[in-house]
Structure 1
Amino acid sequence: MKKICLSLATLLMLFSCQEDEKSTTAEARVSKRACHTQEVFERQLKENPGLAAKMNQIEAFTENAVLNQSRLVNGKIEIPVVVNVLYKTAAENISLAQIQSQIDVLNADFNAANSDFNQVPTLFSGVKANVGITFVLDQVIRKSTTKTSWGTRDAMKKSKQGGIDPTSPTTKLNFWVCTIGGGILGYAQFPGGSSATDGVVVDSKYVGVTSNSGPAYPYNLGRTATHEVGHWMNLRHIWGDTTCGNDQVADTPTHNTANYGVPTYPHYSTCSGTPVEMTMNYMDYTDDRGMYMFTNGQKSRMGAIFLSGGPRFSFGQP
């Protein structure tokens, strides 16, 4: 099993997705996936000296739960989702149908009901997982704005900065839809952060399923949200955010770094043992059509946060 090292320096490398972003104007089509979860977390560690200790506790709890194969107390988890739409243009004010298509993608991907699940290579067939967590659209809140982009400093989550405050963040997943800027598709907050900023942010162009010929391609199948919700449920990038890093999951291969596009299988790592990389995992950076699986280890890690004593236990209550 991969060993967990919980020093502050390691935490800074493991959880990054936050840089100060300046407002930007409309951008050209993004050529490479860019999640900003890890950078955001690094900034939160710097701003909140007590957060590292809290994350240490969560990691210790998670490791124990995974080792002891704990089970969810009340069975299957259903997550209510509040979608907060911030728009300046009509295109940013995405339709209810578009929002529902994103909920449908999450339900398919987290329940192994995605049509491409059968593409998982034989090598990984023994670890591919049905996570068994479902999502239901609870509410859509819309707000007109004059901002052209929001960056990654959580302004979209704060009404005092023109955004929308989260709704019941200890029992509902808040999902902000807006133009982020900087070529960033989305970012999330790991368990353990402030409830005032808890949730997932996805750029409005990449929410739900859109045309293969549209501006969102090749990120047009709703997998940006699948990736970010994975972070919200305590998953790391599969390469551990450093060369040949550790994602804290035992059944994922060691990756050199992020993969982009749709790599030809098998794609070998040059890390120790030269394993075949799991490029089709949702926590890599491949195109939407190139990612279509979670593993049993990732499932166990996600499930641990909903157990009694876990950081998202309140979501697991009837």
Structure 2
Amino acid sequence: MKKIVLSAFAFLFLFSCSNDETSTTTEEKTLVTHDHRGCASHEVYEEQLRQNPELAQKMEQIERFTEEAIRNNTAKLVNGKIQIPVVVNVLYKTAAENISLTQIQSQIDVLNKDFNATNSDFNQVPAVFSGVKANVGISFVLDAVYRKSTTKTSWGTRDAMKKSAQGGLNPTSPTTKLNLWVCTIGGGILGYAQFPGGSSATDGVVIDSRYLGTTGTATAPFNKGRTATHEVGHWMNLRHIWGDATCGSDLVSDTPSHNTANYGIPAFPHYSTCTGTPIEMTMNYMDYTDDAGMYMFSNGQKSRMLAIFASGGARNSFAQP
């Protein structure tokens, strides 16, 4: 297992997760569909940093708080429970993009299962990881659904969908409600999330309508709602399990070092090429496997997520009664 390392995380601010490779611009992209996930996180980070040069320092402050909360055992649930209201903002051009309430609720159901270890595939976690598999204990409730017809074919990753002035929908009460935008992103992108520490005006998660929930327009192999589980993990301050670098650190102590992202559904055991050649936790939600191939968080990831809801944490307002 790897050590937690305080690294330069500025390049990790905003994760933009996609199927396969994307182009080198974050402008509106041509709709593309591929068969595995990929990421354009560095280009999105560069744009965020240009807009807010102080972002890197703020992220470092959040990381220091997170490490201290975990060390002092204050990274735990307030009153044993956190329930997060979710506002879903649907932006559609076609009838298919105007997804049903049933499809939206199916995604809320998946989040509740995945974050409470009641997902039916949780029992598939290999014995080698049974001691670290986690019940995060955070629940989600659908608070509201807002819909808006648009003329846009795709939205890109510049947060236009989050801004009424650019044809999107402004977030609703983003300091106490998780805003989730559903739209056609383009470029084969499944979704992306904003880490704690960014502007409340753009805070939340974006998911392409073809990869949300388990019914309706949900498209295999990303039709089990795990894109949102992955992105909400980012929203709760989790990094990709390979640390976005060869044998990088995800700042979690109980996840094995991964040499890079995994795709599809790797056969178990899948060994890393990193020091010690550990068995990789390919079934972790923060890898890039297909929806059917990911089904666990670790205890270390749980502590990291709960730290942001602790007193003084970046998302403590969500934990208030």
What TM-score results when the alignment is normalised by the length of structure 2? 0.93
Which runs of no fewer than 5 residues in structure 2 stay unpaired? 17-23
Distance of 1:186 and 1:165 partners within structure 2: 18
- Describe the shift of the 1:137–1:169 C-alpha distance in structure 2 as closer, same or farther (beyond 3 A): same
Distance of 1:93 and 1:284 partners within structure 2: 29
In structure 1, the partner of 2:305 is 302
1:232 is displaced (CA, Å) by: 0.1
- Describe the shift of the 1:63–1:42 C-alpha distance in structure 2 as closer, same or farther (beyond 3 A): farther
- Describe the shift of the 1:16–1:177 C-alpha distance in structure 2 as closer, same or farther (beyond 3 A): closer
1:246 is displaced (CA, Å) by: 0.2
Q: Aligned with 1:301: secondary structure?
A: helix
What TM-score results when the alignment is normalised by the length of structure 1? 0.94
In structure 2, the partner of 1:174 is 179
Give 1:98's aligned amino acid. Answer: Q
2:91 is the alignment partner of 1:83: no
Give 2:128's aligned amino acid. Answer: L
Give 2:45's aligned amino acid. Answer: F
1:215 is displaced (CA, Å) by: 6.9
CA contact 1:76–1:132 (8 Å) conserved in 2 = yes
User: Hey, which bits of structure 1, 4+ residues long, moved more than 6 A?
Assistant: none
Larger mean CA deviation between 51-60 and 165-174 belongs to 51-60
What do the CA deviations read for 1:94-118 (whole angstroms, capped 9, x no partner)? 0000000000000000000000000
Larger mean CA deviation between 68-77 and 269-278 belongs to 68-77
2:57 is the alignment partner of 1:56: no
- Describe the shift of the 1:24–1:45 C-alpha distance in structure 2 as closer, same or farther (beyond 3 A): closer
Larger mean CA deviation between 178-187 and 69-78 belongs to 69-78
Which residue, out of 104, 110, 113, partners 1:105? Answer: 110
CA contact 2:210–2:219 (8 Å) conserved in 1 = yes
Larger mean CA deviation between 49-58 and 37-46 belongs to 37-46
1:25 is displaced (CA, Å) by: 4.5
In structure 1, the partner of 2:3 is 2
1:291 is displaced (CA, Å) by: 0.1
1:15 is displaced (CA, Å) by: 3.9
Aligned-residue sequence identity (percent) comes to: 73
CA contact 1:86–1:93 (8 Å) conserved in 2 = yes
2:225 is the alignment partner of 1:227: no
In structure 2, the partner of 1:40 is 44
Distance of 1:188 and 1:301 partners within structure 2: 16
Which residue, out of 152, 158, 167, partners 2:157? Answer: 152
Q: CA RMSD in A?
A: 1.6
Q: Aligned with 1:17: secondary structure?
A: strand
2:9 is the alignment partner of 1:11: yes
What do the CA deviations read for 1:198-220 (whole angstroms, capped 9, x no partner)? 00000000110038xx7711000
Which runs of no fewer than 5 residues in structure 1 stay unpaired? none
Distance of 2:214 and 2:289 partners within structure 1: 16
Matches within 5 A, 1:151-300: 151-210=156-215, 216-300=219-303
Larger mean CA deviation between 86-95 and 72-81 belongs to 72-81
What do the CA deviations read for 1:75-129 (whole angstroms, capped 9, x no partner)? 2100000000000001100000000000000000000000000000000000000
Distance of 2:94 and 2:261 partners within structure 1: 33
CA contact 2:136–2:302 (8 Å) conserved in 1 = yes
